[in-house]
Chain A
Amino acid sequence: MDDQRSTRQKVLWWVAGAAVVVYALFPVAWIFSLSLKSSADLGNQQFLPTSVVWENYEMILAGDAQSLFLSGLRNSIGVSLIATFIAVVLSTFCAYAIARLDFPGKRVILTTALAVAIFPVISIVTPLFNLWRNIGLYDTWPGLIIPYLSLTLPISIWTLSAFFRQIPWELEQAAQVDGATTWQAFRKVIVPLATPGVFTTAIISFFIAWNDFVYGISLTSTESARPVPAALAFFTGASQFEEPAGAIAAAAVIVTIPVVVLVLLFQRQIVSGLTQGAVKG
C-alpha cells in the first residue's frame, strides 16, 4: 500500500517535472532552432530547420552585425559585472550591519530598499534621460551602472540580510575562545558561512543587470555603452523587407551562454543549508 502510493507519487512528480521543463525550455529550444535556420527557412512554420546553417552566427560574430553585437556584448559584460560587484560589496556591508547591530533606522533602510525595488523603472527613465544628458552621463558606462544599482542593491540587501541573520554568530565567539583573533574568527568561520549567500546574491544581481532592456535602450545611443538586449533591437535584415529574426535568435543564444556558465560554475557554492549542525535543535 505504501509502496504503491510512493510509486504513484514518483510518477506524478516526474510528469509534473517534465511538464515544467518542457514549458520552460520549449522557447529556448525554438530560439536555438531559429538561429540555425537560413533566412529563407525562417517562415517555414516548422520547428526544425530544413538544413542547419551557421550564417546567423557568422553574421553577428564576423559579418555586418559584428560591431553592433560584439560591442554590445562587451558593454553588457562590463556594465553588469561592475554593477554586480558594487552592489554585492555595498549590500554585504549593509546586510552585515542590519544582521549584527542594533541601530536606529534599521527598519527604515529595509523599507526604503523595498520601496525602491517596487518603483516602476519606466517612470524614472525619462527624467534620468534628461538628467544624464545634462550632466554628461548619457551613453556612458557609469550612466548605466548607477541605475542598475537601483535595481540590484535593494534585492541584494534583502537576500543578504535574510541570509546573514541565519548565521550562528556565536561561532565567532567560539572561535575567539579557541584562540582566534577577531580577524581570524571572521575569516575562518564567518566568511566560509557567508560565502554561499554572497554568491547567490551576486548571481541574482548579475542576472538583473544582464537582462535589463529599458535602461539600456533609453540611456544609450551608440556602441560605446549600448548593452546586448538593446543592441538586438538595432539588428537589420539583409534588406528592409527581411526580418532579422535569425540573427536575433543567434544573439539570444550566445547571450544565454554566460548565464548558464555562471550557474554551473557556482552551483557548488550555492549550497543551501550549509549552516546546519552548528547549534543544537
Chain B
Amino acid sequence: MAAITMNNIIKKYGDGFPAVNDVSLDIADGEFMILVGPSGCGKSTLLRMIVGLEDITSGEMLIGGERVNEKAPRDRNLAMVFQNYALYPHLTVYENIAFPLRLQKTSDTEVKERVNQAAELLELTEHLERKPANLSGGQRQRVAMGRAIVRNAQAFLFDEPLSNLDAKLRGQMRTEISRLQKRLGITTVYVTHDQVEAMTLGDRVAVLRKGLLQQVASPRELYENPVNLFVAGFIGSPPMNFIPATVGEDALHTPFGDVTLPESRSVDLAGKDVVLLGARPESFEDAAVVSDTVRDHGLTFDANIDVIEWLGNEQYAYVPYDAPEDIRNQLAELERELDSEAMRTQLVVSLDATSRIEEASVSALWLDLRKVHVFDPSTGENLTARTATQSTSAPA
C-alpha cells in the first residue's frame, strides 16, 4: 500500500498534442480517488502513466515516496483492471488469477490458497476450471478483479471497469468494488464516465478537462461548490441550469426578473456586464409549496411550464426561455464539451412530488437564492466558490 503523488505531470504524444497537461495530484495511502471527465480528456493516459505503460514527458511520479518515472510496469507493483478486462484466453480462470503469483515464483500451495481466497471473495469458486470465453461479462469482470487482488499490490487502478455491463450488473459490481476496497484498504484510482460511480464510490473526485485538472474534492464539495462552469455542468444529473444575467445598479437582470443576491452569495461584480447564474434543478420549487419562512430567501417568478416529467418521488418541469445570442452560443459550446444532450436555453426544474403544477401552464416558481452560484462567463470561474476550504488538499 502506498500513496501516489504526481508533480506537474505532462504527457505529449508523438504529434505534440498534450493529452495530460501539468497535472499535480496527491492520492493518500488507502484513498479511493476517482478520475472523471469527458471523452478524450486524458483519463486513460494518466492511469497508464501511473502504471507505467506510457512514458511521462515531464514531471515526477512518486509511488510510496519513491520516484517511478523510469521504472518498468513490473517494478511498480500495481494492479490494473483494464477497460476491456484483458483476460488470458488460453488459461483457465484459476490460472488467470494465479498468473501474477506464478510470475513471482510463488509456491503451489500458496498459489492455491490465495487464488481460492480471492475466488471465494468474488464468488468465482465454481468457475475456476472454466475458460474466460465461457463466462458472462460480469464473471469476466470479477476474474479481472481477482487477478488484481490476488497479489499484494501497492495500489489498484481501474479503467472504466463497468462501462460495458448492463445497468443491473453495473450497480451490483459497483457495490462489490466499494466493499472490496474498504475491506482491503488499498489505494485505488478509478476512471469512470459514470456520474453515479463518481459520486458514490470515491473519497475524492478529480475532474479533468482537455488534460487539465479542474478540481479535486469530495463528491459533496464538487456538487455544492464547483470552482468553474465546467465542473458545475459536468457534475450532477440533470445538470445545473445556467441563467444569463446583466449586471445592473443594485440588482441582476435575468429573464425571470431582477435578482438581489443574499449576503452569503454577494460577490464583487465591478466591471462586469454579464454573469451566469448557476442553479441546480432542486434549488427551484413550486412557489405554492414553499413555506412563508423561507420564501423571502428566494425569488418568486412566473414561468411558462412546457413539459412535466413525473417520476413518483419527484417531478421535473421544463421551462424554455430566451437568452441573448452570444450567451446562447457559449452555453451551446459548453454543452458540446460536456457531451450533454439537453438544449440549454431551458430550465430543468425539480418540483416536489405533491406539486400540482400542470403542463403548458404559467405557474409561479421559486428559486432559492442562497444556493445560487455566480459564474464569470469569460473565464468560467465560479465567483461564489468558497476558497476557505481548500479543495485540493488531501483528507487528513
Interface residues of A in 237-277 (CB under 8 A from B): 273-277
Give the distance in Å from the alpha carbon of A278 to the alpha carbon of B135 in the complex.
11
Closest 6 CB pairs of A and B: A277-B133, A277-B132, A174-B86, A279-B84, A276-B133, A178-B100
Beta-carbon contact of A176 and B135 below 8 Å: no
Is A184 in the interface zone, CB < 8 Å from B? yes
Beta-carbon contact of B53 and A280 below 8 Å: no
Q: Given A276-B133, A280-B84, A280-B164, A179–B104 Cβ distance below 8 Å?
A: yes
B208 to chain A, nearest CB (A): 22
Total A-B pairs, Cβ < 8 A = 86
Interface on B for A, CB 8 Å cutoff? 51-53, 72-74, 77-80, 82, 84-90, 99-100, 103-104, 131-135, 137, 140-141, 147, 151, 164
Beta-carbon contact of A180 and B74 below 8 Å: yes
CB-CB under 8 A from B52, the residues of chain A are 176-177
Give the distance in Å from the alpha carbon of A189 to the alpha carbon of B131 in the complex.
15
Looking at the complex, which one of B53, B79, B131, B137 makes contact with A176 (CB distance below 8 Å)? Answer: B53
Give the distance in Å from the alpha carbon of A42 to the alpha carbon of B314 in the complex.
94
Beta-carbon contact of B78 and A277 below 8 Å: no
Q: Given A189-B88, A279-B85, A279-B86, A177–B133 Cβ distance below 8 Å?
A: no
Is A170 in the interface zone, CB < 8 Å from B? yes
Give the distance in Å from the alpha carbon of A278 to the alpha carbon of B91 in the complex.
10
Give the distance in Å from the alpha carbon of A177 to the alpha carbon of B140 in the complex.
18
Closest to A281 in B: B164
Closest to B164 in A: A280
B262 to chain A, nearest CB (A): 51
Q: Given A177-B51, A179-B100, A281-B164, A274–B73 Cβ distance below 8 Å?
A: no
9 contacts between A and B (CB under 8 A): A173-B82, A174-B80, A176-B74, A181-B74, A273-B133, A274-B90, A277-B131, A277-B140, A280-B141
Give the distance in Å from the alpha carbon of A166 to the alpha carbon of B137 in the complex.
20
CB-CB under 8 A from B133, the residues of chain A are 273, 276-277
CB-CB under 8 A from A177, the residues of chain B are 51-53, 73-74, 78-80
CB-CB under 8 A from B88, the residues of chain A are 171, 174-175, 189, 278
Is A17 in the interface zone, CB < 8 Å from B? no
Told that A168-B86, A180-B103 touch, could you supply 13 new A-B pairs with CB distance under 8 A? A175-B99, A176-B74, A177-B51, A177-B53, A178-B74, A178-B79, A179-B77, A181-B74, A189-B88, A193-B90, A277-B132, A277-B135, A281-B84
Looking at the complex, which one of A192, A275, A277 makes contact with B134 (CB distance below 8 Å)? Answer: A277
Looking at the complex, which one of A168, A192, A278, A280 makes contact with B137 (CB distance below 8 Å)? Answer: A280
Give the distance in Å from the alpha carbon of A193 to the alpha carbon of B86 in the complex.
13
Interface residues of A in 166-209 (CB under 8 A from B): 168, 170-171, 173-181, 184, 188-189, 192-193
Closest to A180 in B: B103
Give the distance in Å from the alpha carbon of A193 to the alpha carbon of B90 in the complex.
7
- Residue in A170, A173, A175, A277 whose Cβ sees the most chain B Cβ within 10 Å: A277
Closest to A167 in B: B89
Beta-carbon contact of A173 and B53 below 8 Å: yes
CB-CB under 8 A from A193, the residues of chain B are 89-90
Closest to A182 in B: B72
Give the distance in Å from the alpha carbon of A277 to the alpha carbon of B133 in the complex.
4
Give the distance in Å from the alpha carbon of A273 to the alpha carbon of B133 in the complex.
9
B160 to chain A, nearest CB (A): 11
Looking at the complex, which one of B99, B131, B164 makes contact with A178 (CB distance below 8 Å)? Answer: B99
Give the distance in Å from the alpha carbon of A176 to the alpha carbon of B131 in the complex.
21
Beta-carbon contact of B87 and A278 below 8 Å: yes
CB-CB under 8 A from B134, the residues of chain A are 277
Give the distance in Å from the alpha carbon of A11 to the alpha carbon of B105 in the complex.
55
Give the distance in Å from the alpha carbon of A188 to the alpha carbon of B90 in the complex.
10
B145 to chain A, nearest CB (A): 13
B343 to chain A, nearest CB (A): 32
CB-CB under 8 A from B140, the residues of chain A are 277, 280
Beta-carbon contact of A276 and B89 below 8 Å: yes
Beta-carbon contact of A278 and B89 below 8 Å: yes
- Residue in B51, B74, B80 whose Cβ sees the most chain A Cβ within 10 Å: B74
